[in-house]
Amino acid sequence: MESKIDVMNTKEPEKNFGAHTRRTFLKSLGTVAATAATAQVNAVADELQKANNEQVMGPGAVPVTLKVNGQTLKLMLEPRVTLLDALRNYSSLTGAKEGCDRATCGACTVMLGDTPIYSCQKLAIEAQDQEITTDEGLADNDKLSKVQQAFLDKDALMCGYCTPGFLMSVTALLKRNPRPSAEDVKRACAGNICRCGPQPRFIQAALKAAGVETASKTEVIDYV
């Protein structure tokens, strides 16, 4: 008669997958999971350490240095002050306009380096160490920039309030693409709103500034 011990010993032997048994495979899975978890914990600890090392600024005014139109601007600003606010209300640079103050209209456009940005959406403190260009920095003394002159020549402004934003967007476009098409101009100015209708003239002005033959009237008028 088969003893109880014999029955227990009839258990199917551990399957052998190549050099590994099921047990060693499961054990190794546990090791990998533990290693991954430890790596995550270490990463979080590193981030916390970095955050703890960061200097807390504000809420009071702190010194902020901006490089605007080739000049150094030293201001005392609360860290919450936007670049637009710093330019318009803490210095005399009122070229960038405040329209919506919520990243919709583009009237506040300035360039950070060669990139057009909404200055109402950038903290002044974050714009330190970067070259900022506003409309005041486009002309060379009394000589208007090509873009400014072309806007005048093509009568591409009505209220004028949104125009500084268009000038900056077009200037930035011509820096990265000196020979744009009408379509390129439309795309570059997609973040600038004008409600009174001279959009075809903006395009003609941009193309004139680039020395590009004016596109067909239909192509330009298709803007709206």
Backbone angles phi and psi of 136, in degrees to 5: -65, -20
- Select from 60, 61, 62, 100 the least CA-distant residue to 84: 100
Q: Which residue's CB is nearer to ligand FES, number 26 or number 159? A: 159
Distance CA 99, CA 120 (A): 9
162 touches ligand FES (CB under 6 A): yes
Stretch that binds ligand FES, among 17-25, 58-66, 86-94, 193-201 (CB under 6 A): 193-201
Q: Which of 68, 120, 174, 210 binds ligand FES (CB under 6 A)?
A: 120
Tokens for 30, please give them.
């546990």
Q: Which residue's CB is nearer to ligand FES, number 116 or number 180? A: 116
% helix / strand / coil in the chain, to the nearest 5?
Answer: 45, 15, 40
Residues 7-66 touching ligand FES, rule: CB under 6 A, are none
Distance CA 202, CA 109 (A): 16
Q: Do 93 and 119 touch, CB atoms closer than 8 A? A: no
Distance CA 218, CA 197 (A): 15
Q: At closest approach, how far in Å is the CB of 149 from ligand FES?
A: 17
Q: Binding string, 122-161, against ligand FES, x = CB under 6 A?
A: -----------------------------------xxx-x
Q: Which of 66, 83, 107, 124 binds ligand FES (CB under 6 A)?
A: 107
Applying CB under 6 A, which residues contact ligand FES? 98-101, 103-108, 118, 120, 157-159, 161-163, 194-196, 198
